[in-house]
Structures are given as structure tokens and as C-alpha cells.
Chains A and B, each alone.
Chain A
Amino acid sequence: MKGLVLPILLVALAEGAARTFGIASDSLAAPSDIAAALAEALADGRLLLWSAQTVASALAGLAIGGGLGLVLGLLVGLSPATGRVLHLPIEFLRPIPSVALLPVALLGFGFGYRLEIAIVAFACFWPVLIIGSAAISGVERRLLEVGRVLRFGPLARIRKIVLPAALPRLFVAFRLAAGVSLIVAVTVEIALNPLGLGYAMMYAQETLRPALMFAVLVWVGLVGWAINALLLTAQRRLFGPAALVNAGP
């Protein structure tokens, strides 16, 4: 309850200031105007369309980048020798900021979904690879021996033993990557891609509609918060404390 006081106070203060001084600026808007703009954009479906564009790109990038990260994470996690051989290329590629690849992807794909998905995939690849390989190398050795005794092939061993045993921490990896995917998708849209919520904010700013700009910002915050809360709850329900054990990097 106490947590709600500060935001309410700030909103009330902003509203009061806007009413008394009657700001009509290109960069500020009264909270009531922001709420009205939010309601209007929600009612005519624009906001949902933008959200669908952003979330679809984020999910596609997460699936591709996270999937590749998981495959490589399996290789690295199951065979420390492979991990050592791949060490240098990974160390060289990982520090490249995802946005540095924006112009490269722009050359290759042009504007649109493919550009955004490629950048999101690059960004999501690393957390899944790093946390995923740690999770997989942490799988109890004796379980793997059981698989050998049962004469499972390598694929059956991965499907029936490794993935289920590492699942709680793999979920953590994908949860963190999901947060990254949304942030990167919005960043790509703000930087140059004419799609989704990020571009909607830029467009509202360029056409001097601060109420709409702040409304989209609030909405981005709500979407990010909701996805995060949803995944955290799912993690708690599905795995409980299992996901917390050694969940560090």
C-alpha cells in the first residue's frame, strides 16, 4: 500500500501543476491527457496493433536466438572440451553491443520484421548460451551414467535426462532472455525500424503529441511489467525453489 502513495502523489502533483499553470507544450502533458490518449489508442485498436508487432518480433527473435543458444549450450554443457574450443570465438563475439549490428542487419534485410528479429535473436542468444550451458553442465553425472546403462542414444539422453533435469534453470535463462527480447525490440524500433511500440513513441514525439508519447511509454512499462510478473509466477508455480538453486550466472 505504501508503495502506491508516491506514484499517486506524483501524478496528482503533475495534474495540479498542469491545471494551474496550463501548460501547452510540445514535450509535456497532463496526466489526465495522457490517460485519455491511452484510452483512445486502446479503444481504436492502434495500441494493440503496435503491441502485437513488437511482441511478435520479440518472440520470434527469442525463439531463434534462444533456440540456437540452447543447442550450443547443450554442446558446451555436455562436453567441457567443446566449451574450451569455442571459448575464444564466444569471448570475441559476445561483447559486441546488439545495436552495433543494426546497420549490418539493415544492409542485409532492409527495414521490417527480419531486421528486428535478427537483432533480438543475437541479443537473446548469449544469456541462454551462458546460463543454459551452466545449467546443463550442472546436471548430476550419475543421471547421465544411468542413461548410458540404459543404452540411450545421445538424442534420447538429451531428451529424457538432460533437458528435464536442467529445466528449472533453463526456464530462468529463457525468462531473462524474454526480458532482453522486449527491451531490444523496442530499442530497434526507436533507433530505426518503423514498427511497433518504439516507433509509435518516436512518431508521437515527431508529430508533437506528447500525451500519446507518454501514453505509449506507460503502456510499454505495463507490458514489460506484466510479462515479467507472468513469467516469475509461472517459474514459482512450476519449479518453486528448484529454479533458485545455483541460479546465479
Chain B
Amino acid sequence: MRLSARLGLGLASVLLCAAIVGGWHLATRFGLVSRAFLPSPERTWLALWRGLTEGDLRRQVLATVERMLLGWVLASLVGIVLGSLIGSSRRARAWIGPSLEFLRPLPASALIPIGIAFFGLSQSMVLAVICFGTLWPMLLATIQGFAALDPQLRDVGRMLGFGRLDTVWKFALPNALPDILAGMRLGLTVALILSVVGEMLAGQQGLGLSILLAARAFRSPDLFAGVILLGAIGYATNLVLAQVELRVLRWRS
């Protein structure tokens, strides 16, 4: 496609976004949808701006992001270490792998009732659920990455007189990196979802709780502001990880 055509279509894409917001404005202006359900874009923007500058929306965002990142980092560390141990040993894979595969389709949110049974409706419950739920995608991806090491590379390592640690560090880990990064990306999505649900259920401060309370009180501008912020968090984290992936995996292309 020619550059000018591309630019034109990109402009059309921006215009389409503007048209969607315009349609939203008109729909609320002429009362096509009740304002209790759909606030006007102006009032949503105002709620967003006020909440971030003078209200406590900023604190809610920080609480959710902090919870999500803390759980995700812990799960990443445990997932990568455990996954590399299981993945680089054929015996461990044969004994443990099937059990892990069986647990793969289990919804991470199903851990929440168990978390509540053990920890009550507390902050540690939410964090434990995030950690545990995020661990699975990371663990399975790491195992897969380590298992996919070309046996010939293993032989090369043996010829070069590499020990086990050297083989892991110089061959297996770089080889598994794409899988690990993909798992970390999926894990971050899971962590955000579990943070939101956990906050809603346990009444812990954060965006999940604040949008639920806004909906209960029919404060629809606050509700939509919260949803927009959650979308922004998802967008930003994905963008950062995609950039990291590009950097780290540059040697492959």
C-alpha cells in the first residue's frame, strides 16, 4: 500500500474514533439512552479529570496497579524458576507435566473461593489469588520453552564441556525466552482481571471496588471513568511488554 493511502486510512481511523465519541454525545444529548446508564462523554471526561487531579481516583489506580504488579512479579519469579527446573529435566516433565496440563483449562478465578476460605476477605487473599492464578500461564510457558530445546544443542554443549548450569544459561534460557515472555504477557492480563475481581469481592481499595460502588450508586460518569482507566492500564502494560519483547528478542530476527 502506498504511503499516502496509508496516511489517508490512518486519518480515517482517527475520524472514526471522533465519530464514535460524537455519536455517543448525541445519544446522551437527545436522551436515546438513560443518563443513569450512559453518561455523556463530557461528564465522563470531567469525572476522569477531577478524579485524577483532585479526587482519589489516582490512589485507586495506584492501588490496583501495585497489587497487579506485585502479584505478577512474584508469580513470574516462581514460575520461571520452577518452570526451568521442570522443563529442563525430561524425567520431571514426564512425572509432573500431565498434572499441570490437566489444571491448565481451570479458570484462575476459581481459586477465589478457596482463597477466601483460607485468608478471609482480606488483602492477602487478593494477593495470594493473583500470585497463584498468574503462576500457571508463566509456569506452563516456561516448561514448554525449556522442553523445546533442540537436542543437538545439548550435544554441542556436551562437546564444549559445558556443565548443566552453563547449558541452561547459554542455550536453554535464550531458547525459552520467547515462550517465557509470551507467558508473562498472558500472566499480566490474568493478574489485572484477578485484581479487579478480588477487589470487588474483598472490598479492597482499588479500581475494581470503585467501579462497583459507582455502579451501585448510579454514578455512571465515575463508573465509565474507572472502566476507561482499566482499559488504559491494560493498554499501557501490554505496550511496555511488547516493547520489551522487541528489544530482548532482537537477536532472533
Contacts and interface: CB of A to CB of B under 8 A. Distances in A.
A186 B110 contact: yes
B89 interface: no
B193 A220 contact: no
B116 A205 contact: yes
How many interface residues does chain A have, given as a range?
35 or more
Interface stretch (B10-18, B51-59, B74-82, B245-253): B10-18
Interface string A23-58: 000110000000000000000000000000000000
Given A6-B99, A198-B110, A97 B193 contact: yes
B109 A186 contact: yes
Contacts of B105: 179, 182-183, 221, 224-225, 227-228
Contacts of B108: 183
B78 to A, nearest CB: 18
Contacts of B16: 85-86, 88-89
Contacts of B193: 97-99, 187
A2 B223 CA distance: 51
How many interface residues does chain B have, given as a range?
35 or more
Interface in B153-205: 189, 192-193, 196-197, 200-201
B49 interface: no
A60 B12 CA distance: 34
Contacts of B97: 3
Interface string B102-113: 110111111011
B110 A89 contact: no
Given A3-B97, A6-B95, A103-B212, A190 B218 contact: no
Nearest to B97: A3
Given A3-B98, A89-B17, A108-B37, A100 B109 contact: no
A91 B232 CA distance: 11
A103 B102 contact: no
Interface in A199-221: 201-202, 204-205, 210, 213-214, 217, 220-221
A87 B232 CA distance: 16
Contacts of B232: 95
B234 interface: yes
Interface of B: 1, 5-6, 9-10, 12-14, 16-17, 20, 36-37, 94-99, 102-103, 105-110, 112-114, 116-118, 189, 192-193, 196-197, 200-201, 207-208, 211-212, 214-216, 218, 220, 223-224, 226-227, 230-232, 234-235, 238
Interface of A: 2-7, 26-27, 80-81, 84-89, 91-93, 95-104, 106-108, 179, 182-183, 186-187, 190-192, 198, 201-202, 204-205, 210, 213-214, 217, 220-221, 224-225, 227-228
Given A2-B95, A97-B230, 15 more contacts: A3-B99, A26-B117, A85-B13, A92-B231, A95-B238, A96-B234, A99-B197, A103-B211, A104-B215, A183-B107, A187-B193, A190-B109, A220-B107, A221-B110, A225-B105
